[in-house]
């Protein structure tokens, strides 16, 4: 009987650890799909990354990186800024 409690207890502890780490690492509210949508989608490489997908990962790490995107101008740039900084 004690085995049931031990197994459940340790499984519970591990689950808490995983949930804690996951929520700690993914606490930003920026969604990668949304950022990818807002980028021009030319995959031109002018930002220095292989394509828009890689660029969107960089934006997730550091918001300022959206400035590296050369074809992102005017209305679209404004939309991106609004999205990235809406919570602030």
Partner 1 sequence: MSLISLFFTSILSQNIILTRFLGICPFIGTSNKEKNAIHMGLSVILVVTLSSIITYLIYYYVLVATDTIYLRTIMFILVIASMVQLMDIVLKKYFITIHNTMGLYLPLITTNCAVLGTTLLVINNSYTFMETITFSLGSSIGFTLVIYIFSTIREKLDTSDISPSFKGIPIALLTAAIMSLVFVRYI
Identify whether the C-beta of residue 38 lies closer than 8 Å to the C-beta of residue 31: no
Polymer length of the chain: 88
Is residue 7 near partner 1 by the rule CB under 8 A? yes
| DSSP structural state of residue 39 | S
Measured CA to CA, the distance from residue 14 to residue 32 in angstroms comes to 28
Footprint on residues 13-72 left by partner 1 (CB under 8 A): 14, 17-18, 21-22, 25-26, 54, 57
Nearer to partner 1, 28 or 82 (CB): 28
Residues that bind partner 1 (CB under 8 A): 2-3, 6-7, 10-11, 14, 17-18, 21-22, 25-26, 54, 57
């Amino acid at each position: 009987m004690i085995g049931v409690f031990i197994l459940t207890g340790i499984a519970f502890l591990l689950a808490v650890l995983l949930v804690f780490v996951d929520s700690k690492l993914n606490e930003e509210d920026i969604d990668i799909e949304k950022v990818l949508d807002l980028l021009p989608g030319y995959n031109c490489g002018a930002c220095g990354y292989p394509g828009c997908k890689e660029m969107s990962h960089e934006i997730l790490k550091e918001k300022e990186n959206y400035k590296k995107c050369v074809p992102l101008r005017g209305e679209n740039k404004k939309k991106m800024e609004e999205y990235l900084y809406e919570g602030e």
